[in-house]
Structure 1
């Protein structure tokens, strides 16, 4: 973590406020590349946010690289078609890296065993398809691969209390392919795999996370940027953009990378009554509460 960021963290300067920007153009020249979150920054699970495609395209036109860094529990190759459906074209970014990619890399070598039970919807099967692993019943598994809830429209982690107790009795590892707790889907919030992994940890189970804020996905991101840029990108020229304080912003803080907090995502109701004008004191208090510190905040990513 940089000294500048360190002095801004809770306990160092309780009076400091997170600066609020309305235009990304005023910040863009400081950075060569973006690690940009997807859900909550580009779209809300239904449609792209106004202005975000233009902001990314403008940044790229000025020579910047955009690597989408998502906690989607599916391989990054599947994401472009998904984004097209929300109105985010392929020319708005350079490449995609997901927690699904990081998960495949980890479990593919048999680190947690070779027999697994999949906890999550069938749409996440690409996360493990083609690997030298055997999908088995719950009671036969060496580990559980959790990509999400079976039905995130109606369920919460509370629906899995008995299941998690059974897994804990067998001392089974749980591999979480999506560390997010909740995401917005239109006007409602739905729970993600991180909520189940969190509940398992609380009862003493072993949960292993792949994706933001954990280090492996950032190491993979640096490798991607090396290919995209033809050279390593200095950390001070790299900006993480996201709406998750405990994922996007914490991950950036831990890696010594500047972070831009998008307040119009999952934290919108805690940043003030006007979504387009987040209140600096509330944004700052929320950041301190989470134990993180963004270098700036914006309501939405707009040029």
Structure 2
């Protein structure tokens, strides 16, 4: 059974570094959670290192700008690893060819910017679906619409044998009080239809490789046993941590607030039932990061 804690400080001295999810943990898609910011600041003041590990399809530089707009101060984190950077690296190495159909918004176009770490990158051209050799999906055209609206295009793509590169495995997020569909929902539908989807964010290994690399830029040789993964998604953050053999802290007041009976803290019985249904066992649980 997951141990319910009251604050991060109860366990933080056991870890040299933390991989911390953003949406649902540090901010709600609109503004920062003050208690979460304070908890991470306090951890860093004691010498801990914080790598923000996010399924955002945006490059690290764009996430930094976004955090500033959400009033998440830069003194509560040390580095950032994004699903977008992990997926961009694969795209620029030719994972879905050089002519791609782009599914996403204008705000996510920085995904196609060059990366210094890639030698001899593939020159990517965005083209209509009928001319594409692959698909790049950073999100829905309209996050309020169910991914099923894309079924005709996805069926055509599957018949052409196109691979879909998913830059954000999240299925849903809550922007304030509004629930939105993410790229993961489109990739999930494509896979169900018989298409091939390539994932690069949590819970899949590539983003953890990137997170360790970003951590090593600050402090090399920190073992996995000294890293705590924090997040509110059992299918992404917690399953990813389990797959990487990392201890984890589940934030029950995010996506699963209703299922876990979370007001300030989860209802123990509801939490246990929910985790059993999801077949996951985080090391610790807390209502909200604080």
* TM-score normalised per structure 2: 0.95
Q: Find the counterpart in structure 2 of residue 4 from structure 1.
A: none
Structure 2: runs of 5 or more not aligned: 115-120
**Superposed, which structure 2 residues align to 1:124-273 within 5 Å?**
124-130=108-114, 132-152=123-143, 154-229=144-219, 231-272=220-261
Computed over aligned residues only, the root mean square deviation of the Cα atoms, in angstroms, reads: 1.1
Q: How many residues align?
A: 283
1:278 — aligned with what? 266
Is the CA contact 1:149–1:191 (under 8 Å) kept in the aligned structure 2?
yes
The answer (yes or no) to whether the contact 1:271–1:282 under 8 Å persists in 2 is: yes
Partner of 1:34: 18
Measured after TM superposition, the shift of residue 288 of structure 1 is 2.2
1:92 aligns with 2:76: yes
Aligned to 2:38: 54
Quick check: 1:180–1:195 contact (8 Å CA) kept in 2? yes
* Aligned residue number for residue 287 of structure 2: 299
Structure 1 residue 182 displacement after superposition: 0.3
Offset, 1:292: 1.7
Work out the CA distance in 2 between the residues paired with 1:291 and 1:271.
Answer: 14
Question: Aligned partners of 2:153 and 2:278: how far apart in 1?
Answer: 29
How big is the shift at 1:169?
A: 1.4
Moved beyond 6 Å, runs of 4+: none
Taking structure 1 as the reference length, the TM-score comes to 0.91
> How far does residue 281 in structure 1 lie from its aligned partner after superposition?
2.2
Using the TM superposition, give the Cα deviation of residue 175 of structure 1 relative to its aligned residue in structure 2, in angstroms: 0.5
| Structure of higher RCO (CA pairs closer than 8 Å, 6+ residues apart) | 1
How far is 1:180 from its partner?
Answer: 0.0
**Alpha carbons 2:225, 2:247 under 8 Å: kept:** yes
Q: State the alpha-carbon separation in 2 of the partners of residues 194 and 246 from structure 1.
A: 11
How far apart, CA to CA, are the structure 2 residues paired with 1:127 and 1:81?
Answer: 14
C-alpha distance in 1 between matches for 2:172 and 2:263: 19
Structure 1 residue 22: deviation in Å?
1.4
Q: Distance in 2 between matches of 1:286 and 1:66?
A: 28
Where structure 1 has 5 or more consecutive residues not aligned to the other structure, the ranges are: 1-16
